[in-house]
């Protein structure tokens, strides 16, 4: 038997979530984020989250599961989609976060996230103690003409729906996005003239651990990088794979340095993702591309990353 104990607080929180989601469900919404208590906003492509989630305690006994409210309320994570252009504050926060590979939580922010529909209805979320827990850099395709966005996941300590001294109608429009077709890359020991046609969406994620001290610690998980190249240019990667196998048999590794540079749809450089401790996992045939030329996919792991915002 499963018993769930709900209170009026739970029903009220559910009603609040429905009310706050009404704007986010509208297709014609303008979003913004402010790092100075709602005075100046940077543009966002999308934002969702921060709604209250009631904390439950679960008790097992006599074949039943009893859930009761503990009285605490936690905000749900925020998911943001970020373009380029005037997002210096957000991209700078990503860069600062990536500087910390392991240790106590450091780079927190107080931010206001706003959404306004075409009728002028606004939702303002005032969030404190927010940390970046996950970043997805967009996939790249040299044959694409599409624009792309960066996805950022935030974990706020607290979020309140408040009125601030700002006119939501002044939220800036998203001007530029990431370009899928324009990018640059570098891997030590690999010919830079290699025709890389695709790079996967690189996900950088932080985990949490309490360790032996009981103090919350953050650590940067390994990431994966996948590149698609013509099979005729796979020789250096095959050699790297062979060298890595020999090194591993001797208890060593053959990790290298690399980078991916992103540009916006206007041709401006956005920033460079620095790949530290880049190791090759596999090189295998991929599907045939549209021209019928055989291609291979190179899969690599990354020990840690940094992000340098273009000046």
pLDDT > 70 in the chain, percent: 72
Residue ranges, CATH 2.30.110, the chain: 28-55+71-174, 181-309
Mean pLDDT within 280-307: 83
Q: Which residue has the higher pLDDT, 105 or 189?
A: 189
* pTM for this predicted structure: 0.81
- At residue 64, the pLDDT reads 61
Q: Give pLDDT, residue 3.
A: 29
Helix, strand, or coil (residue 152): strand
Spatial separation of the C-alpha atoms in residues 110 and 126, rounded to whole Å: 8
| Cβ neighbours, 10 Å, residue 101 | 14
Mean residue pLDDT of the chain comes to 80
More confident residue, 100 or 170: 100
Q: Tell me the C-alpha to C-alpha distance, in Å, between residue 209 and each of 131, 171, 206, 256.
A: 15, 38, 10, 28
Q: Would you call 308 helix, strand, or coil by DSSP? A: strand
Average confidence (pLDDT) over 289-310: 85
Rounded to a whole number, what is the largest CA-CA distance in the chain? Answer: 68
- Region 72-87 average pLDDT: 81
Which pLDDT value is given to residue 134?
93
d(CA 45, CA 137): 15
Number of helices (H) and strands (E), helices first, in the chain?
A: 3, 22
* 105 vs 176: CA distance, rounded Å: 32
pLDDT in tens, 222-253: 899 999 999 999 999 999 999 999 998 888 88
Tokens of 62: 């006599």
Tokens linked to 272: 């460079």
Nearest-angstrom CA–CA distance, 142 and 145: 8
**CATH number belonging to the domain at 181-309, selected among 3.10.150, 2.30.110, 3.40.50, 2.40.128:** 2.30.110
143, pLDDT greater than 80: yes
Class of domain 28-55+71-174: mainly beta
CA distance 91 to 46: 15
Task: Please report which confidence band the pLDDT of residue 292 belongs to, taking 50, 70 and 90 as the band edges.
Answer: low
Highest mean pLDDT among 26-35, 55-64, 238-247: 238-247
Does residue 276 carry a pLDDT above 90? Answer: yes
CA 169-171-173 angle, 5° bins: 115
Half-sphere exposure of 252 (CA within 13 A, CB side): 7
């Amino acid at each position: 038997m499963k018993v769930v104990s709900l209170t009026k607080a739970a029903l009220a929180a559910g009603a609040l979530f429905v009310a706050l989601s009404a704007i986010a469900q509208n297709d014609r919404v303008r979003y913004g984020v402010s790092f100075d208590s709602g005075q100046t906003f940077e543009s966002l492509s999308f934002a969702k989250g921060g709604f209250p989630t009631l904390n439950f305690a679960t008790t097992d006994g006599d074949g039943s599961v009893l859930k009761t409210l503990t009285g605490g309320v936690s905000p749900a994570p925020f998911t943001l989609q970020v373009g380029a252009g005037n997002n210096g504050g957000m991209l700078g926060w990503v860069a600062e976060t990536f500087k910390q590979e392991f240790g106590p939580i450091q780079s927190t922010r107080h931010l206001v996230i706003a959404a306004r529909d075409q009728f002028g209805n606004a939702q303002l979320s005032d969030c404190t103690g927010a940390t970046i827990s996950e970043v997805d850099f967009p996939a790249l395709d040299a044959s694409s003409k599409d624009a792309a966005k960066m996805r950022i996941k935030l974990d706020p300590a607290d979020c309140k729906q408040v009125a601030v001294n700002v006119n939501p109608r002044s939220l800036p429009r998203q001007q530029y996005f990431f370009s899928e077709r324009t990018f640059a890359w570098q891997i030590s020991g690999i010919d830079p003239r290699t025709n890389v046609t695709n790079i996967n969406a690189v996900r950088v994620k932080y985990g949490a651990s309490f360790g032996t001290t009981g103090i919350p610690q953050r650590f940067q998980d390994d990431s994966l990088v996948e590149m698609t190249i013509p099979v005729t240019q796979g020789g250096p990667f095959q050699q790297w794979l062979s060298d890595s196998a020999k090194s591993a048999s001797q208890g060593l590794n053959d990790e290298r340095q690399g980078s991916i540079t992103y540009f916006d749809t206007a041709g401006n450089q956005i920033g460079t993702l620095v790949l530290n401790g880049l190791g090759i996992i596999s090189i295998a045939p991929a599907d045939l591309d549209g021209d019928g030329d055989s291609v291979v996919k190179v899969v690599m792991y990354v020990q840690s990353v940094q992000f340098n915002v273009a000046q």
